[in-house]
Amino acid sequence: MKQISISGVKRTEVGKRATKALRREGLIPCNLYGQQKNENGEAVAMAFAISEKDAQKLIYTPHIYLVDINIDGEDHKAVLRESQFHPVKDNILHIDFLEVHAERPIVIGVPIQTQGLAEGVRAGGRLMTLIRKINVRALYQDIPEKLQIDVTKLKLGKSIKVGDLSYDKIELVTPKDVIVVSVKMTRAAMSQASEAADAEPEEAEA
């Protein structure tokens, strides 16, 4: 994963009024969830805030980041867990981070990247990407920036599912039957198939 460093300040006040005041100051309210839990088994979160500029660097990108967060002088390593947006303006409203440790696996969505020119595309088909990320479980230091998928041998009408993929040191947790990419039959491909069929010699009569 790529790494990025940001800084934040602890929030002493929470609630709608406090978070609205933060946003007016150009700050985005955040929570950092660690491995600790309360007596009810719920994860304990640290409330803090980061600049809107830093938030945009994390959110508006195709990359996933290992985030080094300095909160009032304390260093934490984390990954983005969830983000909330304004339903109309699409502004960033809130971000949740998950603190990570070198010896504990995490679950995170990793972007996919296809490699090669599919056989089905050469035959006139169209490569369709059905999902953009696959959820994986692994130690954060073993998680790649992208999951590479070789589509070279993918034929017309065929697909690659999550269950067809495997990577070293990574467990795929997205359901195995989820289709990742497929080659769709297009009008051009159907026309080529029809022309090929018409060109076949007819069997001579006995």
User: How many Å apart are CA 150 and CA 176, to the nearest integer?
Assistant: 17
DSSP strand E in the chain: where? 2-10, 27-37, 43-51, 65-71, 74-85, 92-99, 106-115, 126-129, 133-138, 147-150, 159-161, 171-172, 179-184
- Taking residues 161-171, what's their average pLDDT? 97
Domains and CATH numbers, the chain: 2-100 (2.40.240.10), 108-195 (2.170.120.20)
Query: Is 16 a residue whose pLDDT tops 90?
Result: no
pLDDT in tens, 126-162: 999 999 999 999 999 999 999 999 999 999 999 999 9
pTM, two decimal places: 0.79
SS (HEC) of 66-123: EEEEEECCEEEEEEEEEEEECCCCCCEEEEEEEECECCECEEEEEEEEEECCCHHHHC
User: How many Å apart are CA 192 and CA 58, to the nearest integer?
Assistant: 45
pLDDT in tens, 41-88: 777 788 999 999 999 999 998 889 999 999 999 999 999 999 999 898
Q: What is the pLDDT of residue 39?
A: 73
Tell me the average pLDDT of the chain.
Answer: 89
Least confident of 19-23, 43-47, 129-133, 202-206: 202-206
